[in-house]
Amino acid sequence: MKKQSAHPNSRIHTHARTRAAAAAVLVALAGGALGGCKGLTQSYQRGYVLPEGALEQIPLGASQDQVLVVLGTPSTVATVSGEVFYYISQRTEQTSFLPQEEVNRRVIAVYFDKNRKVERLADYGMKDGKVFDFISRTTASGGQELNVLTYMIRAVKLNP
């Protein structure tokens, strides 16, 4: 014998509750998916990638050949007041569909004396809008060298 429900409409109410619960789950899943897209950020590295601990392997007085073995071919070479190897890098980030934004630019400079021995190392970047050497913790002095560094840090764009 079939058991009859006390309420004739109980089957309809159960079906409506199931549909409402399914709709709530779908809304929660859609909200979670959209919320997850908000923080999707990718980083891009262009130019020279400085190997970990590479600058510590270049003592003052090291030869140009040793610098080339440790750091590789420079991005550019200048002869402002003696020879200088410049290694230039740029890091950008892109969040979802927004345009890429530059977050860091570095210029590693290796200065050589007349005998082609390392005279000084510098790691230039921007700090408070000024060219700043993160190794010696000083800003670059005026003159032709500052113009070259300012140009490399501010104007040179490394495109993919």
Condensed to tens digits (0 to 9), the pLDDT of residues 120-157 reads 998 887 664 555 565 655 555 554 455 566 655 555 45
31 against 41, higher pLDDT: 41
pLDDT at 160: 46
Q: Quote the CA–CA distance of 23 and 26 in Å, as a whole number.
A: 5
Tokens read off for 29: 């899943």
Average pLDDT over residues 73-86: 85
Instruction: Kindly state the DSSP code that residue 134 receives in the 8-state scheme.
Output: T
70 against 158, higher pLDDT: 70
Tokens read off for 123: 């790691």
Instruction: Show Cβ contacts of residue 138 under 8 Å, excluding neighbours closer than 6 positions.
Output: 132
Contact by Cβ (8 Å): 80, 145: yes
Beta bridge mates, 101: 93
CA angle 81, 84, 90 (to 5 degrees): 130
Question: Which has the closest alpha carbon to 78: 112, 48, 46, 49?
Answer: 112
